[in-house]
């Protein structure tokens, strides 16, 4: 942590090599967040580049009031929203699958069902307004606390909580209308039961 | 746990799973980015509010320290400037240098002492009347002026204690200037004080 503070301090003073170390440390997280915001790799690449470039330019004014990663996610979500507004397009519906399921998990059929459910969730996410998608990604993908999301989005913690609740309610509504939420419940319960009976 | 809470938990679990990703950016991502970074200057650090306050306080301190240094000089200059227009002896070019033939000219009352006069100021003093000036004549010239004004049927606005005061229009002052050398060529109305012996 102290090392990273030192690297950030050097980058703030204009040391590009130090900044490169920060890029290497955060490029995957930033790219994945951008990918979930935009829905396709080309846009995600552009957004991630833009976010890092904004970070480089703005580093002299980064005061460390939030974590560096939180600040970076903030720049990423802003860059993604800017891109989508600039290009006047919705987040692409193109689906990029998540992590490959482990081999020792549920049966192939359950895995297939689960994969389908995840695709439906990602599809539903893309139908949400940007501000809802943004808080859900920061919370459930980047695992930021309410306070950190507030710092990233410059919102009071209470607003973050209420926005998250509304986002989840809308997502649930989309999934319920397509029947996927209840499907997901049954898949999860089946898996849990399966795990319980295993020795 | 009720149904709603259970659904909420499921949803959160689903979200985490669905959003998890092992996607990675292109291999040349960092190289492309760093190429741009090395061409892009960083923003200048903005001053923090406390720095702005400190800068303002420092500026106030400098101004406060500078005022005592500047003010005496400024007041001296003002005094000198006023003094150069203060009552003084004015000698006629025609040699009327007697004590009886004096013109006193002032634009503003002043309490400055004669010690405040400097040599340069004295050299610069000259007859230069304008509208609204007060011109005081004494001695012989005051007598000449009074006779001329009586001939012009100009009434004083006050008289007594050895002085007669006239408020002259531009035309009256110009006409008087024909007779009284001290007012020759004057352009504008003046207040004329004649110190006369009754």
The predicted pLDDT at position A34 comes to: 92
In the DSSP assignment, the letter for residue B191 is: E
**ipTM rounded to 2 decimals:** 0.75
pLDDT-derived band of residue B26, with 50, 70 and 90 as boundaries? very high
The predicted pLDDT at position B2 comes to: 77
Among the ranges A90-94, B51-55, B78-82, which has the highest mean pLDDT value? B51-55
pLDDT of A187 > 60? The answer is: no
**Nearest chain A CA: its distance from B73 CA (Å):** 45
In the DSSP assignment, the letter for residue A102 is: P
User: Considering only A19-28, B24-33, B38-47, which range has the smallest mean pLDDT?
Assistant: B38-47
CB-side neighbour CA atoms (13 Å) of B167: 3
pLDDT by residue (tens digit) across A37-89? Answer: 888 899 999 999 999 999 999 999 888 888 899 999 999 999 998 888 877 65
Q: Please state, in angstroms and rounded to a whole number, the distance separating the CA atoms of residues A160 and A150.
A: 6
pLDDT of A100 > 70? The answer is: no
Tell me how far CA of residue B161 lies from CA of B108, B143, B164, B197, in angstroms. 22, 16, 8, 9
The reply to whether residue A98 touches residue B17, judged by beta carbons under 8 angstroms, is yes
The predicted pLDDT at position B101 comes to: 45
CB contacts, 8 Å: A125 with chain B: 15, 18-19
Q: Is B28 on the interface with A (CB under 8 A)?
A: no
Residues 35-74 on B with a CB inside 8 Å of A are: 36-38, 40-46, 48
Cβ–Cβ pairs < 8 A, chains A and B: 125
The predicted pLDDT at position B66 comes to: 83
- Backbone φ, ψ for residue B156 (5° rounding): -70, 155
The reply to whether residue A61 touches residue B43, judged by beta carbons under 8 angstroms, is yes
- Backbone φ, ψ for residue A124 (5° rounding): -65, -40
The reply to whether residue B21 touches residue A98, judged by beta carbons under 8 angstroms, is yes
Return the residue in A9, A29, A32 with the most chain B beta carbons within 10 A, the one to mutate for interface testing. A32
Nearest by CB to A140, from B19, B40, B41: name it: B19
Q: Please state, in angstroms and rounded to a whole number, the distance separating the CA atoms of residues B28 and A11.
A: 21
Q: SS3 for B192?
A: strand
Element (H, E) at B168: strand B163-168
Domains of chain A are: 2-86 (1.10.1740.10), 108-197 (1.10.10.10)
Picking from A119, A114, A122, A123, the residue whose alpha carbon sits closest to that of residue A183 is A114
pLDDT of B97 > 90? The answer is: no
The predicted pLDDT at position B116 comes to: 42
Q: What is the mean pLDDT of residues B110-135?
A: 48
The reply to whether residue B45 touches residue A60, judged by beta carbons under 8 angstroms, is yes
For chain B, give the number of residues: 198
Picking from B134, B192, B127, the residue whose alpha carbon sits closest to that of residue B163 is B192
Bridge partners of B69? none
The predicted pLDDT at position B17 comes to: 86
Q: Tokens representing B38? A: 């090395």
| Cα-trace Rg, chain B | 41
**Nearest chain B CA: its distance from A95 CA (Å):** 11
Per DSSP, helices labelled H in chain A are 2-12, 16-38, 41-58, 68-86, 108-127, 130-140, 146-153, 157-177, 180-197
Nearest by CB to A181, from B11, B30, B43: name it: B11
pLDDT-derived band of residue B73, with 50, 70 and 90 as boundaries? low
The residue among B12 and B161 whose pLDDT is bigger is: B12
In the DSSP assignment, the letter for residue B193 is: E
The predicted pLDDT at position A102 comes to: 47
Q: What is the mean pLDDT of chain A?
A: 82
Tell me how far CA of residue A161 lies from CA of A145, A166, A167, A169, B185, in angstroms. 10, 9, 10, 12, 89
The reply to whether residue A96 touches residue B11, judged by beta carbons under 8 angstroms, is no
Q: SS3 for B80?
A: helix
pLDDT-derived band of residue B34, with 50, 70 and 90 as boundaries? very high
Q: Which chain B residue's Cα is nearest to A170? A: B11
The residue among A53 and B96 whose pLDDT is bigger is: A53
The predicted pLDDT at position B188 comes to: 82
Q: What percent of chain B has pLDDT over 90?
A: 8
Is there a contact between A137 and A77 (Cβ–Cβ < 8 Å)?
yes
pLDDT of B96 > 50? The answer is: no
Nearest by CB to B23, from A96, A125, A172: name it: A96
Is there a contact between B104 and B138 (Cβ–Cβ < 8 Å)?
yes
The predicted pLDDT at position A1 comes to: 61
């Amino acid at each position: 942590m102290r090392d990273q503070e030192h690297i950030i301090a050097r980058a703030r003073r204009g040391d590009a090599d130090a900044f490169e170390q920060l890029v290497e440390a955060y490029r995957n997280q930033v790219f994945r967040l951008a990918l979930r915001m935009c829905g396709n790799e080309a846009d995600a690449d552009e957004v991630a580049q833009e976010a890092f470039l904004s970070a480089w330019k703005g580093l002299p004014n980064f005061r460390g009031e939030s974590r560096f990663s939180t600040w970076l996610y903030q720049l990423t979500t802003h860059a993604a929203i800017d891109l989508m507004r600039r290009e006047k397009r919705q987040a692409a519906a193109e689906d990029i699958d998540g992590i490959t399921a482990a081999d020792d998990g549920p049966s192939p059929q359950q895995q297939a069902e689960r994969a389908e459910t995840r695709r439906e969730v990602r599809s539903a996410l893309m139908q949400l307004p940007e501000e809802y998608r943004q808080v859900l990604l920061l919370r459930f993908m980047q695992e930021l606390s309410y306070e950190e999301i507030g710092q990233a989005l410059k919102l009071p913690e209470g607003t973050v909580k209420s926005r998250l609740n509304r986002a989840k309610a809308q997502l649930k509504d989309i999934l319920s209308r397509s029947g996927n939420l209840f499907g997901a419940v049954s898949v999860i319960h089946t898996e849990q039961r399966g795990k319980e009976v295993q020795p | 746990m009720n149904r709603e809470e259970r659904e909420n938990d499921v949803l959160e679990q689903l979200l985490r799973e669905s959003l998890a990703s092992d996607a990675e950016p292109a291999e040349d991502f960092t190289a492309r980015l760093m190429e741009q970074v090395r061409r892009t200057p960083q923003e200048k650090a903005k001053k923090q509010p406390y720095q702005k306050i400190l800068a303002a306080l420092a500026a106030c301190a400098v101004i406060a320290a500078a005022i005592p240094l500047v003010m005496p000089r400024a007041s001296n200059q003002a005094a000198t400037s006023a003094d150069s227009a203060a009552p003084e002896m004015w000698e006629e070019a025609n040699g009327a240098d007697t004590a009886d033939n004096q013109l006193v000219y002032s634009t503003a009352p002043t309490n400055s002492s004669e010690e405040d006069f400097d040599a340069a100021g004295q050299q610069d003093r000259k007859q230069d009347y304008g509208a609204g000036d007060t011109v005081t004549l004494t001695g012989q010239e005051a007598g000449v002026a009074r006779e001329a004004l009586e001939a012009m049927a100009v009434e004083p606005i006050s008289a007594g204690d050895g002085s007669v005061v006239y408020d002259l229009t531009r035309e009256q002052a110009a006409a008087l200037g024909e007779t009284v050398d001290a007012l020759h060529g004057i352009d504008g109305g003046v207040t004329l004080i004649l110190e006369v012996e009754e």
